[in-house]
Structure 1
């Protein structure tokens, strides 16, 4: 089964052809980074307009790169939630028209579930496993029991980890996108130059929830308070110190969740899963006997391949979407539970 996956939830316009949920025949991503860079963030109106201009040629390119004909596309999948509503609607309406024209099954996909599934395309893990979604808009620790069965253990109660990276980078005018720039600068910085505070573990029934607001405030407004008094107040040192605490805060929750659930497998997905320190910290868990998987860099950011791959599972189970279905900017409801 050749599935065309379309992803336009934010500022990446992507289309991919994935065969039988595993073989990526093509994965075209048209990035808008350079066009949003002057604003140091994604401008929703600009993003949706660019999707409208680009989507037809991006889909055509994906089909050509896959080396298949239009008549060999067996289904069309598209992101319908969550994300920027205008951007989502561009992809959704294009996918509906494309599926109707080809007279093939049409299915909508949740962007969050796709990120949590992305590593399965390249390194399948047996269920259940601990899923760690880290992106500009979301930070979620969950128990993944199946491709469509997710129990949320903890989430951010304020800023997502990627949002914190972007806001710190914007404040210090480090560049855009913030996460990539901070990761690069941190490699030549002193991670102990600033002893920024990490949020304490929550007690009671929410031990895996995370807060990044306090850390962001400390880095932006209270730099001198946490300076070691000797190191240079350089961008590299600020980046390294901030990244150490941001990743460390997440990893403390991850290790606690692994201990409490008894799970021996873990997977991470989302744009921040490309962060070198986080990947190193997760990889180190293998030394403790855990099986670890995270997507290659090309599948960490928003992409059509993860949409098509996840869709294959639904299609195999006979799930289809109605053409009346609309987009939603909101995250779909997930069951929240505690070990």
Structure 2
């Protein structure tokens, strides 16, 4: 195998490839990146057998062939080289990496391309297209609510389902829930509801530009995505997702409306004196404002009052401050409301302006 290309062209794709390899064992073939050149193009593939990535770039092919190399070392070598054209060639199980008109010469041990695992293929299921920006925004509004408890693996991903006007995306860990119900101008074909690992969305965010369309294909076991020449996929999480509609209150009597930035600032300050693992704060909601208070600890106590618009009885709510902080960080607009009927029952947090997302938080018991 022998080809030449500009450093930046190949470096960018190897950076993306790195996230799809398994780096726990440097001797494993899945810690390697697959390179194949023919017809003046280079095919690059990486997989840890749960997720996979494939792309192609234009190169000058001098001799067809395929190999795999340890991705981490290959990436570090590329980063160290000057910006110039680089020639790559194989001989006696080694990949020679030599920048043009330079005295630099690296040799990196290879493994045959025949040993690289087969990548998943899409089969006959067609792709459909959606806005990159919309799909990424859906993940941004929900991903923080997924569970980190691996014993409840079916909650460790984002639930995606088709609706009559687009798609819904949901995340819950059993104590909070985030949902986006988005309409799409593009036609969304029928697909079964699926649970998508968070890593898929982390990689999607890195690979997408938030402009143009994202091509998706959803099958029983896998989700595929394509942006330009880059193609990647992920296994889906198997399991029965809970009926999330059951925890969404149909009506709520009271609403306290306040500025998003006021509450964000107060939470950040008051939380400085929170020591308990539950990360508990108290919200005393009244017509005079919202008193945000930390749990008393050996370090002391913090209090802050923020103005709000509210009509109703004085109410004291106890909750994990992170459950309120996370949605407010990504919420659009200037104002939001906390909606509730009783201080110990589910609260709905949503932007004041009409949006297609909201968040449910289960309060703690006051004496817990």
Q: Same fold (TM over 0.5)?
A: no
Q: Which has the higher strand share?
A: 2
Is the radius of gyration larger for structure 1 or structure 2?
A: 2
**TM, length-normalised to structure 2:** 0.23
**TM, length-normalised to structure 1:** 0.25
Q: Which has the higher contact order (CA 8 A, sep 6+)?
A: 1
